[in-house]
Structure 1
Amino acid sequence: MGVELREDLEMEDGVYSEYDLALHVKDVLLSVSSGDVVSVDNYRELVGRLYPRERHSPDEVAKLVASLKGLSGAASYIDSSVHVGLLSPLFAMSLWNYGPDVMDALIELIISLAASSGKYLDLCLAMLTRHFETPSNFLEKLKLPYGLTKKDQVLTRVHSALKDIADLVPLSPARIVTIVSDRLELYRKMKGTTAHALVIYVENMLKLEGSALGEFVRVSMLTKVVELLLHLDVEMGSWDKVLQDHGIFQMELEDVDDFTEDFLNDGTEQLREVTTNDITLKSFAEKLDSLMVLTFEHLESCEGGGRLSEVFQTLLETFGNKVLTTCKSKFVQFVMFYACALDPVNCGEEFATNLVEIFVYDANLTCLRMRAVAYLASYLSRAMFMSATIVAQTLKRLVGWCFDYVKTKKGGINPESDKLFYSACQAIMYLLCFRMRSMMDDPQSKSLLAGLPLESILRTEISPLKACVPSIVKEFLWQANAAGLFMAEEFDFDDGLESEYSLAWGGKEELHKLFPFDPCLLKKSDRFIRPNFVYWSMVHRTYDEDKEDSSDEDVDEAFAVDNVENVMDYEILQCLEEQQFGFDEVDNALNKMSITPKDSLHNRFGGAINKPVRMPSRIRPSTSPESL
């Protein structure tokens, strides 16, 4: 019977029903151990059809489809100890190599195998999720319509199969999480993994999160994506010593005049020659930038589908467990920033509240609290979408905490024991550098600000003005003086170099210089962040004099020369807009923080302001948002 059916199968596809095909394959499988020559030949021919070929004729395709359908019906008779020769090529098959008919038959067989025996579940899930990795020879084809169509055909079937298996085997989502996570770790470590290939893998992870399986895999998928972003982010930071050894990125904040096109071009050329383990800084940056964009787009789809609040809760937890505990991340925190920008009222305010709660109540985690308050100040300073009301409420809580702290303290400066207090004071001053003018222009916020015991805190024996970054202190005092909050010249403050106290409380992590939301310098990611971001050059300060300029062009030409305190963000914006700012200059520009540099105070406190600031036309917002 086996021989007769085998010969008939070779005649034409569709001669026998799926039941007949399954019956024939069952006989072939059961007769393998008999030693019969004909049975062995039948089995070998069945197995041979599963091996890949460069090309399949229509007749070969028909036979392969028939064989797969027969195996689907007889899946329960496949024995892992007897049919190793069949299982090996089966699980090595790739949907990318076949047309729709074979793909459908293969998917049907994998689902049947997964449901027939628990011992095949992991093999089936691994085979399916392996398709998250696009074959290297197919990556270039994805730039063509045919390639995109093929990608959709393959991955749509894969995700549908994962859902079907989950319905049949309730434990499968947990196994999917483990398999995908482990494979991502191996894939990340593989040399030569391109940004495009990595993006496609992560795209499928996010697709899992947004699918019917999202309830079971959401936390794991999002956490793994953030961990991957964080890994790439930190790896870029590990290049600092290499770059410094090559004499490229040693510019100080004050050396603004040296930030020229010639320097950037020379530095770029030198950096192209630097490699570590055959991976360049540019490669890390390209991967990170592409993955950040993919994550931003996923957040947009979540917001459009009404799922952002669910996703945000996972992101918030991951931020606290992963990002906040990591030193020197430069970019991954902008995932939180963009999620908040998509929903300022819910996500935006909850993020700020969460940071305040960490700072105020996590009593045994001093460094974490210091990072939290730095994130808080930087976030509220830069987030264009956060209202003045939230800023005012946050300032009230921070100042209240500081006031309660100084009431219990006696003696002079002690950077180690008072470092949490100094971090809070610096956060307050930094935030007011950006927001003081907008608060003074709003009667309710102005009244709140005037009622805060700022002067009492600053005049305490603990002397926060001597322990915080001088550039922030100077800018804050100058604005406070212009706003009439108090007379700045009455404060005992040395506006020289950074004090030993500041270095001491910042520690090795340099928490005194942590401003996590300084401008994002990843080219593709910037287009998502920029519309929601406050650059220093956009800030209206209390000492600014409003006046009409003769022309925007005149303002642009004189801008960088006349206003040293604005030049950093201006240079960054210009380079990004003209696409001259390569990934190779990321660390250089990040080191040049957009806070007021040395000599920005053209006169002593209370002196006349000779050169009022005006934003250049190309970056001036057309309307003033509420928070500005």
Structure 2
Amino acid sequence: MGRELASDRVEFHEMENDGLSDYELKSHVIDALASVQLGNRDNYDELVGHLHLRGRRTADQVALLVTTLKALSEAVFHIDSGHHEALLSAIFRLSMWHYGTDVMDALRELIISLATSKGEYVDFCLEMLVRQFVPPLSSQEMLKQPRGISLKYEVLSRVHAALKNIADVVPIAPKRLSPIVVQRMPNIFCKELEIVLYVENMLKLDSGAIGEIVGVTMLPALVDRMIDLDVDIGWDGSLQDDAKDIFEMELEDVAEPADDDDKDDSLSKGTLRRISLEGNEVAGKLDSLMVLTFEHLESCQSSDRLPKVFDVLLESFQKTVINAYKSKFTQFVMFYACALDPEGCGLKFAAVLLDMFISEVTPRITKMSAVAYLASYLSRAKFLSAALVASILQRLVSWCSEYSMLHDVALNPQTHKVFYSGCQAIMYVLCFRLRSLMDVPRLKMQLLNMPIEPILKHKLSPLTVCLPTVVEEFLRQAKAAHLFTTSESFVFNDVLESDLSRAFGGMDRLDMFFPFDPCLLKKSDGYIHKYFIYWSMVRTTYDSDDNIDDEDIGSESENDDDTIMGSFEEHGLDIECFLNRMSITPKNSKYGFERMPSRIRPSTSPESL
């Protein structure tokens, strides 16, 4: 009996060299699998041993591995999870990154066969393939070499092909895949290479054949990871200035001074903050992920998928980003998507933010965040027309006017924070857009008919509560534009450390900055800058027309077909009708909205702008 077993082992070990047919190989593997249940594990253990072999394999060993994997693919129905646990464990621990294309192909076919043969193996096969998204530590350095780049393509092309093949045969596989991908996503402490490579594969899934199924999970998970990185980025303590220089915190083309003593005098605060982020590993990871996302959005636009992808991102924004504590950069994913599709995504984003602010069912902190986002978006997005800005300002002014009439009381920063948020948003937008509105006759008349003056002179006294820098700049431009009808001057005490302003939002707080302040991530800003309005580009009402650069923001012609309104009017559409149609608040609400997000993550941020 012993001699027979020994003979069997030799035959198994040399089965490739014996010229066995595929049928004979399959029969031999089936016999090895069946022998386990009869108490004979020798051939089975040798079979498992071929898969467990570590280190560099000889050519014969590689050939034997390929033969073994192919034979197992033909015998998957004879594999039993109860008796062959060691074999399954060995299979699922194999990494394509360690082998050539022959082994990769044989392993891919085995995994597909296992997943499509029995439902109990689907999750294990999907998880094994997802693990291939990132190479083992021993292979990561190779990715920096030409051979590594080629290996990356060889591995990942087979991984995604296998996932598609499994999804074609097992319809439930994509839904089972989504939570696996999300759960195995690298955390913020992993190497940048690991996170970036993993996200590349996530986005490839979203843009692939199963993208419509997995995208609703992949993209929100990516946004959540970017938020995790975002809030983990800390500013240098010396840069946590108050908001008194809010219009001076722009990036400028200024060379960094050699003498550190002169740095504060030579560079803008925005430039200093960018310098402080150089070499910051967390910021570098976030910057890389945002660039990947921007490129993915461009791809979606080219394939006409951007509107659907934007809806997924918008829902994620409402659930996480809008109330994320001190989110500094992640929100630019929304900004860039809107820039790629101003007439669709761009208008929808503005409408949703407006609805969130004036809806009666929105939590107070979310209202304040929404109107801060709205104000910053209207001010900074170069692709939005003055006509759209005027229409939304009309809504904001109407809300603030009605609120002030219903609350004929003395100022109270704590109780009426939402009102002050709305007032500050109106003034902030006009700091950037007043000149362009006044230069178009019909928009000028629309603006002059808005009851802005009574709101600012109300007993709630918003001028003494809102950010002093915003108030000061707004009043300066309003005076130059003759925005107010009375000759009475506004009384404004330029006290930048006002206790009232502290009570409303908190001076000396980075979360006072508007969400779309200039992006300080170098690679990401390269995508954003052409769509972005910097303060240095703004033509204010008190500016002369001398030395105005062609790229500066100037007056807008009523027949400007390069703006959103030009396109809308060309098709006989009205922006007010569009905003009403885009409404998301319940229809029984006072302001006529359709719905709110199904879930809003509890905010950890202080009740400030």
What are the within-5 Å matches in structure 2 for residues 33-48 of structure 1? 33-36=37-40, 40-48=41-49
Q: Distance in 2 between matches of 1:455 and 1:285?
A: 43
Q: Distance in 1 between matches of 2:385 and 2:457?
A: 30
Q: Distance in 1 between matches of 2:462 and 2:361?
A: 21
Q: Distance in 2 between matches of 1:627 and 1:434?
A: 17
Confirm or deny: 8 A CA contact 2:72 2:110 kept in the other structure. Answer: yes
Q: In the superposition, relative to structure 1, how do residues 19 and 176 fare at CA in structure 2: closer, same or farther (>3 Å)? A: same
Q: Distance in 2 between matches of 1:14 and 1:545?
A: 92
* 1:352 equivalent in structure 2: 350
- Measured after TM superposition, the shift of residue 77 of structure 1 is 1.3
What are the within-5 Å matches in structure 2 for residues 196-275 of structure 1? 196-236=193-233, 239=234, 243-244=236-237, 248-251=238-241, 262-263=259-260
* 2:464 equivalent in structure 1: 466
Q: What amino acid sits opposite 1:100 in the alignment?
A: T
Confirm or deny: 8 A CA contact 1:410 1:461 kept in the other structure. Answer: yes
Q: Which stretch of the first structure deviates more once superposed, 83-92 or 282-291? A: 83-92
* 2:14 equivalent in structure 1: 10
Q: Distance in 2 between matches of 1:504 and 1:488?
A: 31
* 2:529 equivalent in structure 1: 530
* 1:100 equivalent in structure 2: 101
Q: In the superposition, relative to structure 1, how do residues 216 and 488 fare at CA in structure 2: closer, same or farther (>3 Å)? A: farther
Q: Distance in 2 between matches of 1:111 and 1:260?
A: 60
- Measured after TM superposition, the shift of residue 280 of structure 1 is 11
Q: Distance in 2 between matches of 1:489 and 1:9?
A: 100
Q: In the superposition, relative to structure 1, how do residues 447 and 512 fare at CA in structure 2: closer, same or farther (>3 Å)? A: farther
* 2:314 equivalent in structure 1: 316
* 2:110 equivalent in structure 1: 109
* 1:594 equivalent in structure 2: none
Q: What amino acid sits opposite 1:159 in the alignment?
A: H
Q: In the superposition, relative to structure 1, how do residues 620 and 492 fare at CA in structure 2: closer, same or farther (>3 Å)? A: closer
State TM-score, norm by structure 2.
Answer: 0.82
Query: Could you list the per-position Cα deviations for residues 453-497 of structure 1 after superposition, in whole angstroms to 9, with x for gaps in the alignment?
Result: 111111111111111111111111111111111268611211222
Q: Distance in 2 between matches of 1:8 and 1:388?
A: 78
* 2:143 equivalent in structure 1: 142
Q: Distance in 2 between matches of 1:362 and 1:14?
A: 80
Q: Distance in 2 between matches of 1:347 and 1:261?
A: 44
Q: Secondary structure at the match of 2:280?
A: helix
Q: Distance in 2 between matches of 1:495 and 1:450?
A: 26
* 2:122 equivalent in structure 1: 121
Q: Distance in 1 between matches of 2:552 and 2:508?
A: 35
Q: Distance in 2 between matches of 1:429 and 1:306?
A: 37
Confirm or deny: 8 A CA contact 2:436 2:555 kept in the other structure. Answer: no
* 2:606 equivalent in structure 1: none
Q: Which stretch of the first structure deviates more once superposed, 96-105 or 478-487? A: 478-487
Confirm or deny: 8 A CA contact 1:371 1:514 kept in the other structure. Answer: no
* 1:577 equivalent in structure 2: none
Q: Which stretch of the first structure deviates more once superposed, 414-423 or 138-147? A: 138-147
* 2:582 equivalent in structure 1: none
- Measured after TM superposition, the shift of residue 391 of structure 1 is 0.5
Uncovered stretches (5+) of structure 1, i.e. residues with no partner: 268-278, 549-613
Q: In the superposition, relative to structure 1, how do residues 465 and 512 fare at CA in structure 2: closer, same or farther (>3 Å)? A: farther
Confirm or deny: 8 A CA contact 2:69 2:107 kept in the other structure. Answer: yes
Q: In the superposition, relative to structure 1, how do residues 223 and 472 fare at CA in structure 2: closer, same or farther (>3 Å)? A: same
Q: Secondary structure at the match of 1:139?
A: helix
Q: What amino acid sits opposite 1:523 in the alignment?
A: K
Out of 403, 409, 429, the residue aligned to residue 411 of structure 1 is: 409
Q: Distance in 2 between matches of 1:251 and 1:508?
A: 9
Query: Could you list the per-position Cα deviations for residues 71-113 of structure 1 after superposition, in whole angstroms to 9, with x for gaps in the alignment?
Result: 1111121122322332222111000111111111111111111
Q: In the superposition, relative to structure 1, how do residues 500 and 530 fare at CA in structure 2: closer, same or farther (>3 Å)? A: same
Q: In the superposition, relative to structure 1, how do residues 509 and 24 fare at CA in structure 2: closer, same or farther (>3 Å)? A: farther
* 1:71 equivalent in structure 2: 72
Q: Secondary structure at the match of 1:490?
A: coil
What are the within-5 Å matches in structure 2 for residues 573-584 of structure 1? none
Q: What amino acid sits opposite 2:445 in the alignment?
A: S
Confirm or deny: 8 A CA contact 2:294 2:333 kept in the other structure. Answer: yes
Q: In the superposition, relative to structure 1, how do residues 512 and 505 fare at CA in structure 2: closer, same or farther (>3 Å)? A: farther
Q: Which stretch of the first structure deviates more once superposed, 103-112 or 362-371? A: 362-371
State TM-score, norm by structure 1.
Answer: 0.79
* 2:57 equivalent in structure 1: 56
Uncovered stretches (5+) of structure 2, i.e. residues with no partner: 250-255, 265-276, 565-609
* 1:506 equivalent in structure 2: 505
- Measured after TM superposition, the shift of residue 7 of structure 1 is 3.0
* 1:597 equivalent in structure 2: none
- Measured after TM superposition, the shift of residue 433 of structure 1 is 0.4
Confirm or deny: 8 A CA contact 2:241 2:508 kept in the other structure. Answer: no
Q: Distance in 1 between matches of 2:340 and 2:487?
A: 39
* 2:444 equivalent in structure 1: 446
* 1:378 equivalent in structure 2: 376
Confirm or deny: 8 A CA contact 1:503 1:510 kept in the other structure. Answer: no
Q: Distance in 1 between matches of 2:58 and 2:140?
A: 25
- Measured after TM superposition, the shift of residue 178 of structure 1 is 1.5
Q: Distance in 1 between matches of 2:508 and 2:119?
A: 49
* 2:34 equivalent in structure 1: 30
- Measured after TM superposition, the shift of residue 325 of structure 1 is 1.7
Q: In the superposition, relative to structure 1, how do residues 155 and 14 fare at CA in structure 2: closer, same or farther (>3 Å)? A: farther
* 2:153 equivalent in structure 1: 152
Confirm or deny: 8 A CA contact 2:240 2:510 kept in the other structure. Answer: no
Confirm or deny: 8 A CA contact 2:287 2:523 kept in the other structure. Answer: yes
Q: Percent identity?
A: 50
Confirm or deny: 8 A CA contact 2:497 2:507 kept in the other structure. Answer: no
Out of 416, 427, 430, the residue aligned to residue 429 of structure 1 is: 427
- Measured after TM superposition, the shift of residue 265 of structure 1 is 9.9
- Measured after TM superposition, the shift of residue 209 of structure 1 is 1.1
Q: Distance in 1 between matches of 2:444 and 2:278?
A: 50
* 1:195 equivalent in structure 2: 192
Q: Distance in 2 between matches of 1:84 and 1:379?
A: 56
Confirm or deny: 8 A CA contact 1:72 1:113 kept in the other structure. Answer: yes
Query: Could you list the per-position Cα deviations for residues 96-152 of structure 1 after superposition, in whole angstroms to 9, with x for gaps in the alignment?
Result: 111111111111111111222222222211111001122223333223332122111
Q: In the superposition, relative to structure 1, how do residues 209 and 539 fare at CA in structure 2: closer, same or farther (>3 Å)? A: same
